[in-house]
Structure formats: C-alpha cells, structure tokens
C-alpha cells in the first residue's frame, strides 16, 4: 500500500452502510480512486472499477479482492460515450443495478499556460468534464433514473482561485463543479443526489509527484494549508462514503473541499498558532 492509501482504521461507519449497493468508480485502479473503491467496498458496496488500462485494473481488482471486497472492472476511455455506455450497461446487467457513481478519472500534466497545446488543453477538458458527463448520463439512462442514487464528482478546489501550471485542470474542474450543481437540480426529482469532493494536495499521488517535478528546481511541493499536511486518499474516500450513504440523504448540489482549509486561506501568511 503506498502513501496515498493510508486508511483510517477502524472505520467509524457501520461496515454494512452500503450493503446491497453497486458503485462504479472511474479511475478506480490507482491513487485516490483505488482508495475510494476500497472504502466503498469495505462498507458493503459491490464496486466496478473503470478506466483504460486493463492490466492496472486487473492488479487493483486482485489487490482489493484479496482484502475480501466484491470488485470487478470494465475497460473504457471516459471520453468515448459508446465505450462508457457499454461498461455501464454491462455493470447493470451483471450486478442488477447501479446506485453510486464516482467520477474520479482525470488527466493531468502540470504546465504553464504558455506551454499547453490546444490538444493538451482539450484532452484534459475531455477526460475531466466530458468524461463526467458521459459517465453520469450513461448511469442515469441505464439505472439511476429508475430508483435514484448518488453521484460524487472528484474535482479540485480551483474554482475561486488561480493556480500555476493548472490552467487546463482548473478550467475543467470548474466545469465539473458547475455540472454538479446542474445535475443535482435536474435529477433531484429522481432521488439522485449529486455532489463534488475537491481534494487539496494528496500525498503519494501521481498528481502531486508530477506537480513537484514541474516546479522549477523540482523541489517537493510543501503543504501550505493551515493544517500543515498533505491529504491522504482516505480523507477523500471517507467523505465520498458519507456522501453516498443515507446519512447524507439531504445533501446535494455541493462542492466540498477537503484541503486543510487551503482554499479558505486568502493570504497564506500564517506560519503557526497565533
């Protein structure tokens, strides 16, 4: 288990809080997505991991199955609406329904705006934003509209602030935040809750590693948030679990930052307790 997947043990949730539920987690084979899959699975959900690389998915499914979880996978590129539909339809016919969707798949290559090509910009928007639309629509059509459920979009806390090397990601994730609210409003009458979780910098993830490498000098990115640490995948996974659980039955249309108050801190002047 790498640093991104440090779990909170024991869980303070009932282990059967998601019993009988079926979840689809895009990008569920790596990093934060794998920890979300682990935590949803450990609380009773059957989890389908979906992304492009079959070998990565197979390894993640083997690891999670070894822990006793009910997991399977489907291969698709979230930019390809037909491929997404085929994975979603397959999950529904295999598992009987789909109750939970976690749109976690994302593209990221840190770069200054002046060095991002039109294709690079488009790729990130297509994976993060169009992908979230494709997966949410397919799940709505195939199952959620029949019985309701919960969608959690994994975003980033970039909507209100500028962030260097992340212009494409910030634009895409701001779109995801907006889509979260629109879907929550339109699909609320179907009993579907839609929320977003916006992680700050997450320890041990590919995203943070690439960001550290991109910063001039290649220095590790230090946590600048008031809590003074990077997050763990489990910090994201447990909020996702809460949002998918009946405890959050009146929570919808929200974008919740999990970033140690980083996005609340305008000036970042404070070095310690005052």
- Provide the binding-site residues for ligand NAP, judged by CB under 6 A: 26-27, 29-33, 51-53, 56, 77-79, 104-108, 127, 154, 156, 199, 201-202, 205-208
* Beta carbon nearer to ligand NAP, 17 or 255: 255
What is d(CA 197, CA 36) in angstroms, rounded to the nearest whole number? 12
* Beta carbon nearer to ligand NAP, 104 or 252: 104
* Beta carbon nearer to ligand NAP, 42 or 78: 78
Residue 142: CB minimum distance to ligand NAP, A: 18
Contact 232, 205 (CB under 8 A): no
H or E segment to which residue 175 belongs: helix 167-187
Residue 63: CB minimum distance to ligand NAP, A: 14
Q: Where are the alpha helices (DSSP H) in the chain?
A: 31-42, 54-66, 81-95, 118-125, 131-139, 145-147, 167-187, 206-214, 233-244
* Beta carbon nearer to ligand NAP, 77 or 146: 77
Residue 169: CB minimum distance to ligand NAP, A: 7
Instruction: Count the alpha carbons within 13 Å of 227 in the hemisphere toward its beta carbon.
Output: 12
What is d(CA 72, CA 48) in angstroms, rounded to the nearest whole number? 5
Residue 105: CB minimum distance to ligand NAP, A: 3
Instruction: Give the residue closest to ligand NAP by C-beta.
Output: 31
Residue 250: CB minimum distance to ligand NAP, A: 25
Question: Which residue reads 């500028």 in tokens?
Answer: 162
Is the peptide bond prior to 95 cis by the omega test (within 30 degrees of 0)?
A: no
């Amino acid at each position: 288990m790498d640093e991104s997947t440090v779990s909170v043990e024991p869980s303070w949730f009932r282990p059967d809080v998601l019993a009988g539920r079926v979840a689809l987690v895009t990008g569920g084979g790596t990093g934060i997505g794998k920890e979300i899959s682990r935590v949803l699975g450990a609380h009773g959900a059957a989890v389908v991991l979906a992304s492009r690389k079959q070998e990565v998915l197979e390894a993640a499914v083997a690891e999670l199955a070894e822990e006793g979880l009910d997991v399977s996978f489907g291969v698709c590129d979230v930019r390809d609406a037909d491929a997404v539909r085929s994975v979603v339809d397959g999950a529904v016919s295999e598992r009987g329904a789909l109750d939970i969707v976690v749109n976690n798949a994302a593209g990221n290559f840190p770069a200054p705006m002046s060095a991002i090509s039109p294709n690079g910009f488009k790729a990130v928007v297509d994976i993060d934003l169009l992908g979230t639309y494709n997966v949410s629509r397919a799940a709505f059509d195939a199952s959620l509209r029949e019985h309701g459920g919960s969608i959690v979009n994994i975003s980033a806390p970039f909507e209100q602030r500028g962030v260097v090397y992340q212009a494409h990601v910030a634009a895409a994730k701001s779109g995801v935040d907006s889509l979260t609210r629109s879907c929550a409003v339109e699909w609320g009458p179907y009993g579907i809750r839609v929320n977003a979780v916006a992680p700050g910098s997450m320890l041990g993830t590919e995203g943070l590693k690439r960001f550290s490498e991109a910063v001039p000098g290649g220095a590790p990115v230090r946590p600048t948030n008031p809590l003074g640490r990077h997050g763990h995948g489990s910090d994201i996974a447990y909020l996702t679990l809460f949002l998918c659980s009946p405890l959050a039955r009146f929570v919808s249309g929200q974008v919740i930052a999990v970033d140690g108050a980083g996005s609340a801190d305008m000036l970042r002047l404070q070095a310690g307790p005052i």
